[in-house]
């Protein structure tokens, strides 16, 4: 285990943001983010298809705006840890991920807003376990945070879309089968999807609400129902993740988030440390091929970042 | 499909002619469009392999089993055998599974929880219900990496087809995982060769030959059957049990 201590220490002395680790690794390119959210219309799919008829969107993808530091002001930095861009006028940073309502704010009920703000106030100096962002404990990033946490890979099969994230996996069934029973609540929820032209539509239930949306503490409860629309551009280079959240116990109305993403391919440098954690396959004499790296969080890192206590490393957590 | 059924029928006739049990060949095995066997589905062992690979009587924490090792026991080097015995004594707290950590290879295959295989021509993806282990077995004629910074929890898996048998060479391991709940273990010199073969459309014969010159005196082989989970409405349900101690604090809760 000795060799794993080093990355954890890096995180402790630089910042308590896991992304800081990634920025110091790889080829030094850090995280490259833009400000724009391109419009991609739902419509027909003109691109390649798989044998079972699904649009072929397999490959590596990552969001183009920011990591999970801040849900509604994505490039402003985490609470208490403002980025340099935070000093600029608001319109010089990427817009809120909340695309509806128009004010860019999550329409919380008052009690829920108080909980979110309490988390944000305590994030940079957590004095209770609940103020530790769960991803810093290597929890699965959940829905929707997985889409703003490192690059990820989409693999497709007859009847399935498989999402392989940095922290956690989602199996989206396309077979019209019923959701899991209500009593089962999960970090990555339960997904049933279907294709409408260029758009993968996924109904997400059975969410345990625990993953949070990022370091600002934005959240849903276990009552949330999410309808995701993955709208793929016909050029195959981009897609927008557009998700509508309905949870009467937390929000005063349904609201929608938009997260733009772009594809990464062999034309991009592999192992850039954040968006594209791929390595070059060993196949001498053949064209360059990239492949996904092993993703193992808690075993390699334990808790990372100041205050991320409570991750058991030396005693059992199950007795089965 | 006509061609494939015809092929299976011929194989059945051949098996009958050779005196092998013909019933094992009557149902055609699933195949990809490429003709390769299609292992897609949810699989699980019925064996007691994960409790203890070696023959053992029932005890408090393990049901009895004749063992799943060809030849009966694991050929440990003398010092390694002492380590295994020490692991066995401490198994109630030191087994990495108890922290819900990645089980590695081959243990993840015969751990008694379901896993789902997703298969394309270029690879097989094994998503395990327990913990967060996802393994890719590459079947695109790529080779092991020439250099790695440190070993992998799951090793590096490169597969090839020998007829209808998928043969997977797994190397580049770290030394963190165990082989079962009885403290059987390996070093970072572990080299595994897996063989995956349909016995019938709902049963896979799985074997893994383990070589590790730091721990074993010779290679040895585990054999188990994997059964397709066909229960009504069965699906994998995530089991990220490494979160169990802290999940009580979310979202925005003071804990229990």
Confidence (pLDDT) at A308: 63
Give me the count of residues in chain B.
256
Task: Look at A186 and B243 and tell me if their CB atoms are within 8 Å.
Answer: no
Task: Look at A157 and B119 and tell me if their CB atoms are within 8 Å.
Answer: yes
- A287 Cβ under 8 Å from any chain B Cβ: no
Cis before A101 (ω within 30): yes
Q: How far is CA B250 from CA A131, A146, A207, A255, A315, in A?
A: 9, 17, 12, 22, 22
Query: CA-based Rg of chain B, rounded to a whole angstrom?
Result: 20
Query: Which of A53, A54, A130 to mutate to probe the B interface, most B CBs <10 Å?
Result: A130
Q: Which of A162, A282, A299 sits opposite B102 (nearest CB)?
A: A299
- DSSP string over A215-256: TT-----TT-EEEEEEEE-TTSSEEEEEEEEE-TTTBSS-EE
- Closest Cα of chain A to B26: distance in Å? 25
- Closest Cα of chain B to A15: distance in Å? 22
For residues A228 and A248, the answer to whether their CB atoms sit within 8 Å is no
Instruction: Provide φ and ψ at A213, rounded to 5°.
Output: -100, -5
Query: Is a pLDDT exceeding 80 seen at residue A307?
Result: no
Confidence (pLDDT) at A303: 62
Q: Which of A30-39, A64-73, B16-25, B141-150 has the highest mean predicted lDDT (pLDDT)?
A: A64-73
Q: How many CB atoms lie within 10 A of CB A176?
A: 9
Tokens 């695109």 correspond to B140
DSSP-derived letter for residue A111 is: H
What's the ipTM? 0.90
Sign of dihedral through CA atoms B249, A275, A80, A103? negative
Query: Which of A317, A319, A320 to mutate to probe the B interface, most B CBs <10 Å?
Result: A317
Task: Look at B143 and A212 and tell me if their CB atoms are within 8 Å.
Answer: no
Confidence (pLDDT) at B72: 95
pTM of the model: 0.91
For residues A11 and A133, the answer to whether their CB atoms sit within 8 Å is no
pLDDT digits (tens, 9 = 90+) for A14-24: 333 333 333 33
- Nearest 5 degrees, angle CA A57-CA A195-CA B42? 75
Task: Look at B118 and A155 and tell me if their CB atoms are within 8 Å.
Answer: yes
Q: How many CB pairs under 8 A join A and B?
A: 158
Percent of chain A with pLDDT over 90: 81
Query: Which of A131, A208, A210, A215 to mutate to probe the B interface, most B CBs <10 Å?
Result: A210
Q: Which residue of B has its CA nearest to A250?
A: B251
Quote the CA–CA distance of B138 and B157 in Å, as a whole number.
6
Using DSSP's 3-state secondary structure scheme, residue B45 falls into: strand
Confidence (pLDDT) at A31: 59
State mean pLDDT over A152-159: 98
State mean pLDDT over A227-251: 98
Q: Which residues of B touch A128 (CB under 8 A)?
A: 249, 254
- A138 Cβ under 8 Å from any chain B Cβ: yes
Chain A, residues 168-187, CB within 8 A of chain B, namely 168-169, 171, 173, 177-178, 180, 184, 186-187
Sign of dihedral through CA atoms A23, A29, A35, A37? negative
The DSSP H or E segment spanning B78 is helix B78-89
Q: How many CB atoms lie within 10 A of CB A253?
A: 10
- Encode B22-60: b = buried (16+ Cβ within 10 Å), e = exposed: eeebeebbbbeeeeebbbbbbbbbebbbbbbbbebeeee
> What pLDDT band is residue B173 in, cutting at 50, 70 and 90?
very high
- Closest Cα of chain A to B38: distance in Å? 12
Least confident window among A127-131, A158-162, B110-114 = A127-131
Task: Look at A160 and B246 and tell me if their CB atoms are within 8 Å.
Answer: no
Task: Look at A283 and B255 and tell me if their CB atoms are within 8 Å.
Answer: no
Task: Look at B237 and A137 and tell me if their CB atoms are within 8 Å.
Answer: no
Query: Which of B97, B158, B238, B253 to mutate to probe the A interface, most A CBs <10 Å?
Result: B238
Least confident window among A112-116, A196-200, A240-244, A275-279 = A275-279
Task: Look at A317 and B247 and tell me if their CB atoms are within 8 Å.
Answer: no
Q: Which residues of A touch B92 (CB under 8 A)?
A: 316
Q: Which residue of B has its CA nearest to A292?
A: B136
Q: Which residues of B touch A313 (CB under 8 A)?
A: 99
Confidence (pLDDT) at A105: 98
Q: Which residues of B touch A157 (CB under 8 A)?
A: 40, 118-120
Task: Look at A208 and B247 and tell me if their CB atoms are within 8 Å.
Answer: yes
Regarding predicted confidence, which is higher, A313 or A270?
A270
**Burial class of residue A276 (count of CB atoms within 10 Å of its CB; 0-12, 13-18, 19+):** buried
Chain A, residues 71-110, CB within 8 A of chain B, namely none
Q: Which long-range contacts (CB under 8 A, 24 or more apart) does B189-192 make?
A: B189/B213, B189/B214, B189/B215, B190/B155, B190/B215, B192/B105, B192/B106, B192/B155, B192/B168
State mean pLDDT over A82-101: 96
Q: How far is CA A210 from CA A143, A206, B132, in A?
A: 10, 12, 17
Which of A64, A62, A67 is CA-nearest to residue A23? A67
Query: Which of B38, B119, B242 to mutate to probe the A interface, most A CBs <10 Å?
Result: B242
State mean pLDDT over A236-262: 98
Q: Which of A51, A140, A282 sits opposite B33 (nearest CB)?
A: A51
Task: Look at A312 and B245 and tell me if their CB atoms are within 8 Å.
Answer: yes
């Amino acid at each position: 285990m000795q060799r794993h201590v080093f990355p954890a220490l890096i995180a402790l002395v630089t910042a308590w943001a896991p992304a800081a680790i990634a920025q110091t690794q790889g080829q030094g390119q850090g995280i490259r983010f833009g400000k724009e959210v391109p419009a991609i219309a739902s419509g027909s799919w003109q691109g390649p298809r798989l044998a079972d008829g699904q649009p072929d969107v397999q490959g590596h993808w990552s969001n183009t705006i920011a990591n999970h530091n801040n849900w509604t002001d994505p490039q402003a930095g985490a609470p208490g840890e403002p980025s340099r861009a935070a000093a600029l006028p608001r319109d010089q940073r990427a817009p809120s991920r909340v695309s509806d309502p128009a004010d860019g704010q999550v329409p919380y009920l008052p009690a829920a807003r108080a909980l979110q703000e309490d988390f944000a106030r305590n994030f940079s100096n957590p004095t209770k376990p609940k103020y530790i962002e769960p991803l810093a404990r290597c929890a699965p990033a959940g829905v929707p945070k997985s889409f703003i946490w490192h690059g990820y890979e989409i693999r497709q099969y007859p009847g399935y879309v498989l999402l392989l994230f940095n922290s956690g996996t989602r199996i989206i069934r396309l077979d019209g089968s019923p959701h899991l029973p209500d009593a089962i609540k999960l970090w990555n929820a339960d997904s049933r999807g279907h294709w409408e032209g260029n758009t993968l539509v996924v109904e997400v239930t059975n969410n345990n609400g625990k993953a949070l949306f990022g370091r600002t503490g934005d959240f849903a409860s276990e009552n949330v129902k999410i309808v995701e629309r993955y709208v793929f551009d016909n050029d195959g280079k981009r897609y927008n993740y557009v998700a509508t959240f309905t949870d009467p116990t937390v929000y005063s109305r349904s609201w929608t988030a938009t997260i733009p993403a772009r594809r990464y391919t062999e034309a991009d440098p592999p192992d850039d440390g954040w968006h594209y954690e791929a390595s070059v396959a060993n196949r001498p004499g053949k064209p360059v091929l990239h492949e996904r790296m092993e993703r193992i969080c808690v075993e390699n890192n334990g808790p990372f970042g100041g205050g991320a206590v409570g991750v058991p490393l030396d005693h059992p957590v199950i007795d089965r | 499909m006509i061609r494939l059924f015809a092929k299976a029928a011929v194989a059945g006739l051949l098996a009958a002619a050779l005196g092998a049990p013909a019933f094992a060949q009557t149902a055609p095995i699933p195949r990809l469009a490429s003709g390769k066997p299609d292992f897609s589905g949810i699989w699980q062992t019925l064996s007691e392999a994960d409790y203890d690979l070696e023959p053992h009587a029932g005890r408090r924490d393990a049901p009895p089993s004749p063992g799943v090792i060809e030849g009966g026991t694991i050929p440990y080097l003398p010092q390694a055998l002492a380590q295994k015995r020490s692991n066995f004594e401490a198994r109630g707290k030191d087994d990495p599974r108890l922290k819900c950590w990645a089980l590695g290879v081959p243990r993840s295959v015969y751990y008694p929880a379901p896993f789902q295989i997703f298969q394309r021509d270029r690879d097989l993806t094994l998503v395990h219900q327990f913990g967060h282990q996802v393994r890719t077995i590459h079947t695109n004629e790529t080779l092991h990496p020439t250099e790695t910074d440190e070993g992998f929890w799951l090793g590096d898996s490169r597969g090839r087809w020998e007829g209808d048998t998928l043969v997977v060479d797994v190397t580049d391991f770290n030394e963190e995982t165990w082989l079962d709940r009885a403290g059987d273990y390996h070093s970072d010199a572990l080299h595994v060769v897996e063989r995956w073969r349909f016995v019938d459309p709902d049963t896979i014969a799985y074997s893994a030959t383990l070589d590790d010159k730091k721990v074993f005196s010779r290679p040895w082989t585990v054999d188990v059957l994997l059964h397709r989970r066909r229960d009504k409405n069965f699906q994998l349900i995530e089991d990220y049990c490494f979160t169990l101690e802290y999940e009580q604090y979310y979202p925005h809760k003071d804990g229990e």
